[in-house]
Amino acid sequence: MRPQQSALLSLHSAVLLFGGTALFSKLISLSALDITVYRTAVAFVVLLLLLKIQRQPIKLIHKKDYLTALVLGVIVGLHWVTYFAGMQMAGIAVGIIAFFTYPVITVFLEPLFTRSRVQIKDFISASAVLFGIYLLVPEANLGNQVTLGIITGVFSGAFFALRNLLQKRFFSHYSGPHTMLYQTLVACLMLLAFVEVPIQQVSTENLWLILLAGAIFTAIPHALFASSLRYLSATTAGLISCLQPLYGTLLAYILLHETLTLTTLLGGLLVVSAACFETWSITRKKA
């Protein structure tokens, strides 16, 4: 198999696993915070072993990078808690769609870090996303679990967009597994004090699911995604990443029997289409 074909397979595998991560919000009978703490702990151990096996350095190059890692870890922790909470409240398909507003959010946050300007096409994309979210929301009432879940999912997307911009600006000289090693550690330690169910009280079934979520659906896809970028353009990686809502929705339908209404499909199509367009626009300039 050629390097590019192998990289493409790795990328699709990574995106499929990222999409499958959402399933654990329903499969694991713990709060979103507890899932995040235990998942990040497992991911940290797996990433540490992976770097050791590859004989990659563990320490960071500059002392200031530890402060950057701390900030990124805090943001990632907030992103993952809101990500799982959104899924638990709104359902997997709707939760993923709400989260996938992040490419458009990125466009509006990026001028804070660069001298780029928001263009008319970006406002059109934002309008499409807002209308898509409007179609998803059952009622304008925070007492409605689905509505609250959608808002939480959008916040998760905002945290994710902020993390990506900060990482690109201040932490891009480290590999994917290396950056995630510190981010998973910080996220775990930050949230550990708020755990509701101690590890000794977690059921055996949930423990196995947490191990699966942390190792197979967190550590491995990040490593696969990072390795695929050696042979694929940023445009290819960005556009294939837009398949995550599709993969997540299909897995939820097959494994959890979640169904979608026509309105949800239309709203999701608007959000994901805008996300794909903005991802293509951003990565085309840098590929």
pLDDT at 115: 75
Q: Supply 93's token pair.
A: 């398909």
pLDDT at 223: 77
Mean pLDDT (10-residue bins), the chain, 287 residues: 78 89 93 95 93 90 93 95 95 91 86 79 86 85 88 94 88 84 94 94 95 89 76 70 86 88 88 83 62
Rounded CA separation 81/15 (Å): 20
Kindly report the backbone phi and psi dihedral angles of residue 137, in degrees, each rounded to the nearest multiple of 5, phi listed first.
-70, 120
pLDDT at 42: 94
| Full-model pTM | 0.89
pLDDT at 285: 60
